[in-house]
Amino acid sequence: MAVTDHVDLNGFMEGVKKRNPHQPEFVQAVQEVAEDIFEFIEDKEEYHSAQILRRIAEPDRVVSFRVCWEDDNGNIRVQRGWRVQNNNAIGPYKGGIRFHPSVTESVLKFLAFEQTFKNALTGLPMGGGKGGSNFNPKGKSVREIMRFCQSFMTELYRHIGADVDVPAGDIGVGGREIGYMFGQYKRITNHFTGVLTGKGLEWGGSLIRTEATGYGAVYFLENMLATKGDTLEGKTAVISGSGNVATHAAEKIVQLGGKVLTLSDSGGFIHDPDGIDQEKIDWVKTHKTHRRGRIEEYVDAFPGATFHAGKTPWGVPCDVALPCATQNELLGEDAKTLVANGCRAVSEGANMPTDLDGVHTFKHHKILYAPGKASNAGGVAVSGLEMSQNSARRSWSEEELQQMLKDIMAGIHQRCLTYGDQGGGYIDYVKGANIAGFKKVADAMLAFGVV
Ligand code: NDP
């Protein structure tokens, strides 16, 4: 078949929309990737005729299951659970588990699709997957969380394994939840294996896994600024979120001489013109992780800061911005505001936090803009290192792992340059990440034939 006979981008996206009705997040993620891949494969018949993108955009499987649990008042509660195994061409499925009321099959399919490219970019042998539930951990007792995690794993365990699919944490799933799920997996199977990452240090976890996503996003930002001969020293940063990724991104910005002005949660954002220093970051970590409090209480602890209910922080003038909360939290108008206020670089800690309008705005203004699949890959990279340590039954030191994380982020940056350098000093990191990730997975798929 001649190249000209192939379906074009519009035709491809029509098909994706038709096959995935009511799945806007998934369609959005595919669209963002397809825009670059169609240009790349235009003259590459082998990728066309093997229908590679069509196959990556169709998960290997989506497992959906019921999760029943009993609350503290003896009521039976019923939730939905999923595991999306998107693609294992280059390694076992790998990707987090999210517990949040907004979780749907569409959200998990978009995350598993993105994860496939992200994991390829790390240079480590990991395929793409994602899972989760519409369970809302907010307001639940510790025992309720434990019962839910156990019930979730009682169904999930049969679909995962150290060489099959290795889940990790994500929104609503931190060290505590991983502990309950790992305990239940071990109880059911009697196997102590590296079936989950993000584990506690006493039972197979890796140093710096907790910090890796936020730190990695800042290392990536440093790499981007370095292409302009610039550093983070003295830069003002606006960050959204106040969970694992946001607080560790803030910590690394402060360590590198920057000033963090904002953090947020689903209730709104706090603006601290004096800067959110290490002491304040430690307060936020304890407040969110242990007290399970709200970010608005920050202003009681640190007078001088203001709370802006129901708002996102993108209107606060800054040099660099790091969206670290959730998908579609930075829209086209926000992107315009950031650019108008002089923001020079955006490094995404969250997955797909910028909508398509926002992405196009950043590209149009040619600012340094890193999509999450490149800039937040530090977390899954250290998860990959946790898998290696588990397989070898050994642990690396913090210094070794810090260096490996830095090197991996520099390697991802380099891979983005290979396909994203547009000349004239402009690097299209979205294009670079999409093509580099695609090529690695696509070449493995070609080697396997039609499977
Ligand atoms: P956490 O659960 O630790 O924190 C999530 C933060 O985002 C909280 O501050 C939360 O506020 C806020 N948030 C969640 N949903 C919304 C929403 N709908 N609107 C506004 N704010 C919201 O999660 P993580 O820090 O682990 O994850 C944050 C992002 O980073 C996600 O996109 C995740 O997929 C991505 N990511 C995480 C990795 C990891 O290693 N943890 C790896 C790579 C990407 P509230 O407290 O009010 O819920």
pLDDT tens digits along 356-382: 999 999 999 999 999 999 999 999 999
Which of 170, 298, 322, 375 is the best mutation target for the ligand 1 pocket, counting ligand atoms within 8 Å of the beta carbon and taking the most?
170
Question: How many angstroms is it from 326 CA to the middle of ligand 1?
Answer: 5
Residue located nearest, by CA, to atom 48 of ligand 1? 266
Question: pLDDT tier at 4 (50, 70, 90 boundaries)?
Answer: very low
Average pLDDT over residues 253-263: 98
pLDDT above 60: residue 2: no
Helix (H, G, I), strand (E, B) or coil at 306: strand
The residues, ordered by sequence, that sit 6+ positions from 250 with a Cβ below 8 Å of its Cβ are 214, 237, 239, 260, 263, 276, 281, 284
Q: How far is CA 363 from CA 35, 223, 296, 304, 351, in A?
A: 13, 18, 33, 36, 18
Does 61-193 match 211-370 in CATH topology? yes
Distance, in Å, from the CA atom of 350 to the CA atom of 325, rounded to the nearest integer, reads 6
Question: pLDDT tier at 5 (50, 70, 90 boundaries)?
Answer: low
pLDDT, one tens digit per residue, over 226-246 is: 999 999 999 999 999 999 999
Please report the pLDDT score of residue 6 as a whole number.
Answer: 77
Average pLDDT over residues 211-237: 98
Mean of the per-residue pLDDT values of the chain: 97
Judge whether 383 is annotated as a binding position.
yes
Distance, in Å, from the CA atom of 18 to the CA atom of 26, rounded to the nearest integer, reads 12
Which of 140, 210, 239, 266 is the best mutation target for the ligand 1 pocket, counting ligand atoms within 8 Å of the beta carbon and taking the most?
266
Atom of ligand 1 at shortest range from CA of 353: 32
pLDDT, one tens digit per residue, over 22-64 is: 999 999 999 999 999 999 999 999 998 899 999 999 999 999 9
Cβ-in-10-Å burial (0-12, 13-18, 19+) of 199 comes to: buried
Question: How many angstroms is it from 316 CA to the middle of ligand 1?
Answer: 20
Count Cα atoms within 13 angstroms, Cβ side, for 72.
8
Beta 259-265 vs 268-271: how paired, if at all?
A: antiparallel
Bridge partners for 127 per DSSP: 93
Helix (H, G, I), strand (E, B) or coil at 259: strand
Phi, psi of 137 (to 5 degrees): -70, -15
Atom of ligand 1 at shortest range from CA of 351: 32
Helix (H, G, I), strand (E, B) or coil at 131: strand
Read off the pTM.
0.96
Helix (H, G, I), strand (E, B) or coil at 116: helix
Distance, in Å, from the CA atom of 172 to the CA atom of 351, rounded to the nearest integer, reads 14
* Residue 130: active-site member: yes
| Contact criterion met (CB below 8 Å) for 117 and 94 | no
The residues, ordered by sequence, that sit 6+ positions from 150 with a Cβ below 8 Å of its Cβ are 69, 180, 181, 183, 184
pLDDT, one tens digit per residue, over 143-194 is: 999 999 999 999 999 999 999 999 999 999 999 999 999 999 999 999 999 9
- Specify the length of the chain in residues: 451
Question: How many angstroms is it from 359 CA to the middle of ligand 1?
Answer: 20
Residue located nearest, by CA, to atom 23 of ligand 1? 171
Judge whether 118 is annotated as a binding position.
yes
pLDDT above 70: residue 274: yes
pLDDT, one tens digit per residue, over 295-333 is: 999 999 999 999 999 999 999 999 999 999 999 999 999
Dihedral sign for Cα atoms in the order 14, 15, 16, 17: positive
- Rounded to the nearest 10°, the torsion over CA 382, 388, 391, 395 is -70
Atom of ligand 1 at shortest range from CA of 263: 9
Atom of ligand 1 at shortest range from CA of 327: 32
Atom of ligand 1 at shortest range from CA of 245: 25
Question: pLDDT tier at 3 (50, 70, 90 boundaries)?
Answer: very low
Question: pLDDT tier at 1 (50, 70, 90 boundaries)?
Answer: very low
Q: Which of 165, 156, 231, 168 is nearest to 196 (CA)?
A: 168
The fraction of the chain above a pLDDT of 90, given in percent, is 97
Question: How many angstroms is it from 157 CA to the middle of ligand 1?
Answer: 25
Phi, psi of 394 (to 5 degrees): -150, 170
Question: How many angstroms is it from 421 CA to the middle of ligand 1?
Answer: 31
Catalytic residue, from 17, 18, 44, 130: name it: 130
Judge whether 88 is annotated as a binding position.
no
Q: Which of 268, 298, 296 is nearest to 282 (CA)?
A: 298
CATH superfamily, domain 211-370, is NAD(P)-binding Rossmann-like Domain (3.40.50.720)
Map out the domains of the chain as residue ranges.
61-193, 211-370
The residues, ordered by sequence, that sit 6+ positions from 245 with a Cβ below 8 Å of its Cβ are 213, 214, 217, 324, 349, 350, 376, 379
Judge whether 94 is annotated as a binding position.
yes
Question: How many angstroms is it from 32 CA to the middle of ligand 1?
Answer: 21
Judge whether 213 is annotated as a binding position.
yes
CATH domain 61-193 topology: Rossmann fold (3.40.50)
Atom of ligand 1 at shortest range from CA of 246: 25
Question: pLDDT tier at 289 (50, 70, 90 boundaries)?
Answer: confident
Dihedral sign for Cα atoms in the order 278, 284, 289, 291: positive
Residue located nearest, by CA, to atom 7 of ligand 1? 325
Question: How many angstroms is it from 72 CA to the middle of ligand 1?
Answer: 26
Question: How many angstroms is it from 396 CA to the middle of ligand 1?
Answer: 28
Which of 110, 117, 118, 244 is the best mutation target for the ligand 1 pocket, counting ligand atoms within 8 Å of the beta carbon and taking the most?
244
Residue located nearest, by CA, to atom 13 of ligand 1? 325
Report residue 132 as tokens. 């989760």
Q: How far is CA 57 from CA 36, 242, 340, 368, in A?
A: 14, 32, 35, 28
Residue located nearest, by CA, to atom 41 of ligand 1? 170
Q: How far is CA 227 from CA 352, 357, 360, in A?
A: 24, 25, 21
Helix (H, G, I), strand (E, B) or coil at 219: helix
| Contact criterion met (CB below 8 Å) for 215 and 249 | yes
Residue located nearest, by CA, to atom 11 of ligand 1? 265
Using CB distances shorter than 6 Å, the residues near ligand 1 are 102, 169-172, 213, 241-246, 265-267, 324-326, 329, 349-351, 376, 379
